[in-house]
Amino acid sequence: MPTGRVRNAYRAGPAATPPLPPGWWDAGSGIWAEDATMVGTATGNVCWAALALLALHDDARHAGDAGSGAGAGAPVGEDWLGAARRLLGWVAATVRNPAAAGGFAGGFHGHEPAPVRLGWVSTEHNIDAFAAFSWLARATGESRWEAEAAEAGRLVAAMWDAQAARFLTGTLPDGVTPSRAGSYLDAQLWPLLAFPDGPARWGRVLETVAATHAAEGGLDFNGDRDGLWVEGTAQGALAWRRAALDGRVEARRLLAVALAERAPGGLLQATRAPSISTGLALGPDSTEPDFRYYRRPHLGATAWAVLAAEGWNPFTGRRLD
């Protein structure tokens, strides 16, 4: 595959060169084994990495600090911007959905030399792509990124189910047929944050979320409502805050629910229950919906709570108010 991607996970500890995927020693086979999902590349993960780099670029430019990522003789923050451009260039060149539905497909699963291309298209991934391409277009003034943002945006808009007032998950592996099974919280909330000029009718999704995802005073990942998903509850706090004055009370309430799940070390727990389901599989090799969240200190939950408390929108790099 072309260079310019990131894998889904890297080994914990001091950074290695090159960076190494997580794995384990398989004594029975006498090999160092690596998980096919972790060594793969999800399109949404690439876009989130680009969003982080673009935020660093903006921060470096505003601070005027040449040590914040700029190489010798480079404009302030140029290294961050260049890295974001390479990541999103990989998305544009490699995972475009060739089917009529358009947008960007799920990514790749498995090891080189022949990882499996994921043909399904995720609403959530295309929300990420829209935000990242839009931000890169603003940062560079290059119109090609506006066109890529529009491609992702059309996919997200096509997933709006007006009758149910919700966003569909995306498509089946054919890249065409809409997937109507399940409701996943991030795909419902993130369009309200990533599309500042999105249609007013999309705001109805908050009513749907309140009816279908409520659990233990907060919000669940999916519609089975088997427990509190702390990360998603914090996302809800930010989305309701985005809904302006009429959402402030609910935003504060949801944030308080999330913050109550603090672990002894200071991070927030991922769940209140010992574990909760998502209804999703970890990867194509899974034979059941084995993607679960567990009651463990969780960086994502903590980060979203900070964003909600600060009113900072990670999709645009701007405060909500």
What is the distance between the terminal CA atoms of the chain, rounded to a whole angstrom?
A: 42
The values of phi and psi at residue 238, to 5°, are -70, -40
Give pLDDT tens digits for 73-93.
Answer: 555 567 999 999 999 999 999
Closest Cα partner for 186 from 167, 199, 172, 201?
167
Would you state the structure tokens that stand for residue 155, as one six-digit string? 């996919």
Q: Using an 8 Å Cβ cutoff, are 53 and 83 in contact?
A: yes
Would you state the structure tokens that stand for residue 78, as one six-digit string? 């140029």
Compute the half-sphere exposure of residue 5: CA atoms within 13 Å on the CB side of its CA. 21
Give pLDDT tens digits for 192-213.
Answer: 999 999 999 999 999 999 999 9
* 156: helix, strand or coil: helix
* 22: helix, strand or coil: coil
Give pLDDT tens digits for 10-55.
Answer: 998 888 888 888 889 999 999 889 999 999 999 999 999 999 999 9
Task: Report the C-alpha gap between 256 and 250 in whole angstroms.
Answer: 10
- CA 268 vs. chain centroid, Å, equals 18
Q: Residue 20: its pLDDT value, please?
A: 83
Model-level pTM? 0.93
> Is the pLDDT assigned to residue 295 strictly greater than 70?
yes
In the chain, the percentage of residues whose pLDDT exceeds 70 is: 94
* 177: helix, strand or coil: coil
Task: Report the C-alpha gap between 7 and 37 in whole angstroms.
Answer: 9
* 80: helix, strand or coil: helix
Confidence category of residue 144, pLDDT binned at 50, 70, 90: very high
Would you state the structure tokens that stand for residue 157, as one six-digit string? 């808009």
Q: Residue 66: its pLDDT value, please?
A: 45
**Which conformational region is residue 244 in: left (phi greater than 0), alpha (psi within -120 to 50 degrees), or beta?**
left
Compute the half-sphere exposure of residue 58: CA atoms within 13 Å on the CB side of its CA. 15
Give Cβ neighbours of residue 105 (< 8 Å, ≥ 6 apart): 43, 95, 96, 97, 117, 118, 119, 120, 121, 175
Domain ranges for the chain: 35-161, 182-321
> Is the pLDDT assigned to residue 257 strictly greater than 70?
yes
Mean pLDDT across the chain: 92
Helices (H), the chain: 36-39, 43-63, 78-94, 123-140, 143-158, 185-194, 205-212, 230-242, 248-259, 299-310
Give pLDDT tens digits for 301-321.
Answer: 999 999 999 999 999 999 997
Residue type, 125: H
Q: Using an 8 Å Cβ cutoff, are 273 and 295 in contact?
A: yes
> Is the pLDDT assigned to residue 1 strictly greater than 50?
no
Task: Report the C-alpha gap between 253 and 234 in whole angstroms.
Answer: 10
Q: Residue 70: its pLDDT value, please?
A: 47
